[in-house]
Structure 1
Amino acid sequence: MPTNKEPQNPTPTFAELGVAAEIVDSLASRGITRTFAIQELTLPIALGGHDLIGQARTGMGKTYGFGIPLLDRVFDDADVAELDGTPRGLVVVPTRELAVQVGEDLSIAAKKLPVRVTTLYGGRPYEEQVAQLKKGSDVIVGTPGRLIDLREQGHLDLSHVAVLVLDEADEMLDLGFLPAIEKLLAALEGNRHQTMLFSATMPGPIMTLARTFMNKPVHIRAESGEQEFTHEKTEKITFQAHRMDKETILARALQAQGRGRTIIFARTKRSAARVAEDLARRGFTIAAVHGDLGQEAREKSLLAFREGTVDILVATDVAARGIDIDDVTHVINYQVPDDPMTYIHRIGRTGRAGNTGIAITMVGYDELPKWRLINDEFDLGQPEPPQWFSTSPELIAALNIPANVRETVGPPTKVIGAPRGFPERARRPRTGSRRPRR
């Protein structure tokens, strides 16, 4: 959840920027009073109903950068029709996890408003979402597939939407999402609406495409300079590791002094499941989020991580854009991501909202070409990371690992989100010869 901690050089308060008193009071009850840079820059433009493209690093307040003016205008703007139970605001996001997070944040800001926020995404029964829409919804947060399904079934009326937001717009407008976005844009044709795009990165081709359906958008960047993709308070530790040694390195790294909530990113569902299972066998309390888990299991895992029931989350990139927690101390790349932007989104989970963080990347020997692409893209100055093993003194010093840590920390545990029977039935050692086939 965003906290908007007091910056050293105070930015304006939401009240000073003219945000509705009801929203100001709701945020103040959560200790949120002053704006982040992206909010300070976008609110005056967005509250005026102008199209804009907002760009800021992950974890620097983009959700309220668009969410507050959306709620404010839906609630009390002469250019927006009176609320009647059909949506006036629509926020489209790429993942289910991000839909849940954005919906929760908007609900916090709208607590004292007569504005109903509804979150729609796949993996949940249609019936409960249809029932919510029948009761009336003023602001919709949703993923493209479920939004289109509900509209085509006649349950979702988008003809009165006055404010459209594409969150994580670089991914939303990528080739995989473009057909779905075009369908949603077609549903809004004929009604005058404001469009806002927000993301941490906005490549040139995406900017060009975005302007084809926006009306003279203002492009706002909260930071200047091409290299300011990552938080300055995030320490990056990168080294080469043998794939057979990575899990032991993980076990030692998770016992580092000062480690708090930690996200471990794997590239594939299979890798994420294997890493979670291995760490659970070593006694760590683990939650997992990946594509082989049902939506209910994924939500259970994320809730446990957010509430602090577990402090280690193993995830694929499905979770990279859906976790908005300010006090993640460590992000560990168990595998190098496939592209530079994914690397930025992963490590952006730490060092948020003024906190410090550590981003660890273990580069397998076969992953060196991928790492070099990332290194060259962001001029990280480390094309050939050092080779460290789980017993290397350099590793122990760099990660602040206490002396004589063990590779196990207790009896086996169960991965939150894993199927029943884990870990007892998984990878059970053989006690005799295999029975011959008949």
Structure 2
Amino acid sequence: EARDSNWGNAGPQLTGKEIGGNETDLTEAKVWGEGEIAQPYTTFNSCQFPKPIMASIFNLGFQAPTPIQAYCWPVSAQGRDLIGIAKTGSGKTLAFLLPPFTTFLGTRPKRGPSMLVMAPTRELACQIQTEAERFGRRLGIQSVCVYGGAPRGPQLREMRQGRHLIVGTPGRLNDYLTGGQLLLDNCTHLVLDEADRMLDMGFEPQIRTIVQAIPSQRQTMMFSATWPREVRHLAADYLSSPVYVQIGSHEATANKDIKQEVVIVRGQHEKQQKLREIMSQTGPQDRSIIFVNTKKMCDQLARDLMYDRINCVSIHGDREQWERDQALNAFKIGRATVMAATDVAARGLDIKGVKLVVNFDVASCPEDHIHRIGRTGRAGVPGLAITFLDASEGKQAREVMASMQKVGQPIPPELAELAGTAGGGRGYSRWGGKGKGKGGGKGG
């Protein structure tokens, strides 16, 4: 059901000539999905937005829609769900704000918001709110931004007064929802912005609680810079026959603040020796995470390090939730300076001050490698990631080398030599996968 009652019917339009007649370059765009997909708006004149919106676009000097806007606007006008895979700075904020705004024209805020936008950080939420106010003010569309670390009083006061749009972080939104202060019965438009970052920061439980409180008869848009398993699963659960719009590559890349090193080892015994050497050189208060591929090795490493008088905890899938919480808390407050972990247990961890990540066992796929080393080098603080590889892991060496090359890290000769033994294949099959149809599949 298309929600386009005001689309192109709100007064005279500004012409393409008046706002810059340039056409959008769509060469980097890939679009797929079920059924008929609306044609992109390659000029502002083809958008037929209400005059106040067109005037704001003109005043800001925009020449043509960005690729993500060119596809999102007509798809949104159809009322379809959408997944946008695009990097920051692609113009996605206006891609998801402007179409719903046309449906809110001339309406008063209802009991609870008509549109909800979730963003991972206060900074991004505030940026979205700034754009919402800039374009919504002329249209009489009211919005409020809610996030943690700020007084609740002013936020709740604005919410009680009624707002068409609420922008917020999952934590604070969830607090208001479970406290009965946020009502979502009338929400018809949902946006998950930077979904990969929200999941990376551990917000999945809050996101699911919030989405489940919104009526299923809604339009949902999800935006993500990358397309990992967790984002695919979330999309499969909450979007219906979405249109996929990908701008450029969806491959994850390593954080440039992380220095990557590789240690070539011969067998398990040398691995353990090298790990002891590395751990002996870390500062007494430096936090380190060691990644392994099996629960057995996770527990063994923790025992070995404790034997060496290094306070180490371990988390893996067989641990009870209270045991994981206890281990994480010990690591966060510094009672333990080292944590051994498997990939599943470490998903969504956002722990400040991790100086070192060691891949004792190399990750099973490139996306997990990027996720692992991303536990360090956060918030602009440099970090170090060391990956162990042995002579049988030429294919994995190739992908580790590729992740280093993409961010301009020097490649040690021994890594290049090992990677050269990988043969003609590409090592891992893909970074995440594009996935067609609903949600892109249920990867491991």
TM-score bracket for this pair, using the shorter chain length: 0.5 to 0.7
Q: Quick check: 1:126 aligned with 2:156?
A: no
Matches within 5 A, 1:362-373: 367=386
Task: Find the aligned partners of 2:182 and 2:196 in 1 and give their Cα distance.
Answer: 25
Shift of the 239–91 alpha-carbon distance from structure 1 to 2, 3 Å rule, reads: closer
SS in 1 for 2:213: helix
Matched with 1:401 is none
Q: What pairs up with 1:423-434 in 2 under 5 angstroms?
A: none
3-state SS of paired residue (1:198):
strand
Q: Does 1:43 align with 2:73?
A: yes
Distance 1:147 1:238 in 2: 32
1:57 equivalent among 87, 100, 106: 87
User: How far, CA to CA, are the matches of 2:58 and 2:388 in structure 1?
Assistant: 48
Cα deviation, 1:12-45, whole Å, max 9, x if unaligned, reads 3334223222222123222235211111111100
Contact 2:21 2:43 in 1 (8 A): no
Alpha-carbon distance in structure 2 between the residues aligned to 1:170 and 1:71: 25
Show the counterpart of 2:232: 207
CA–CA separation in structure 1 for the residues paired with 2:84 and 2:142: 25
Change (3 A) 1:97 1:368: same
Distance of 1:171 and 1:104 partners within structure 2: 21
Counterpart AA for 1:75: L
Question: Does the C-alpha gap of structure 1 residues 26 and 343 become closer, same or farther in structure 2, counting only changes over 3 Å?
Answer: farther
Q: Secondary structure at the match of 2:124?
A: helix
Give the partner amino acid of 2:92. Answer: K
Rounded to whole Å, the distance in 2 between the matches of 1:182 and 1:238 is: 31
Segments of structure 2 that go 5 or more residues without pairing to the other structure are: 1-19, 27-40, 262-285, 288-331, 333-349, 359-367, 390-396, 414-444
- Matched residue count: 279
Pairing 1:171–2:171 present: no
CA–CA distance in structure 2, aligned partners of residues 8 and 51 of structure 1: 22
Counterpart in 2 of 1:31? 61
Which range is displaced more, 31-40 or 377-386?
Answer: 377-386
- Residue 205 (structure 2) pairs with residue 187 (structure 1): no
Question: CA 1:28 to 1:153, structure 2 compared with 1: closer, same or farther past 3 Å?
Answer: same
Deviation at 1:128, TM superposition (A): 0.8
Change (3 A) 1:237 1:205: closer
For 1:173 and 1:120, how far apart are their aligned partners in 2? Answer: 19
Unaligned runs of 5+ in 1: 231-235, 242-269, 272-290, 292-316, 320-333, 350-359, 388-438
CA shift digits 1:65-102 (9 cap, x unpaired): 212223223337xxxx7633631110011111111111
Letter of the 2:118 partner, please give it.
V
Larger Rg: 2
1:72 has 2:97 as partner: no
Does the C-alpha gap of structure 1 residues 369 and 383 become closer, same or farther in structure 2, counting only changes over 3 Å?
farther
Tell me, yes or no, if the aligned pair for 1:24 and 1:33 is still in contact at 8 Å.
no
TM-score (norm 1): 0.52
**SS of 2:137 mapped into structure 1:** coil
Q: Report the equivalent of 1:87.
A: 113
Aligned equivalent of 1:20: 50
- Which residue does the alignment assign to 2:246? 221
Q: Which residue matches 2:29?
A: none
Tell me how far apart the structure 2 counterparts of residues 382 and 169 of structure 1 sit (CA, whole Å): 26
Q: Give the alignment of 1:33-432 within 5 angstroms.
A: 33-75=63-105, 83-84=109-110, 86-173=112-199, 176-189=202-215, 192-223=217-248, 340=370, 367=386, 375-377=401-403, 380=406, 384-385=410-411
Identity of aligned residues (%): 31
- Once the 2 structures are TM-superposed, how far is the Cα of residue 129 of structure 1 from its aligned partner? 0.7
Give the Cα separation in 1 of the matches to 2:154 and 2:403. 45
Answer yes or no: is the 8 Å Cα contact 1:239–1:386 preserved in 2. no
Amino acid aligned to 1:380: K
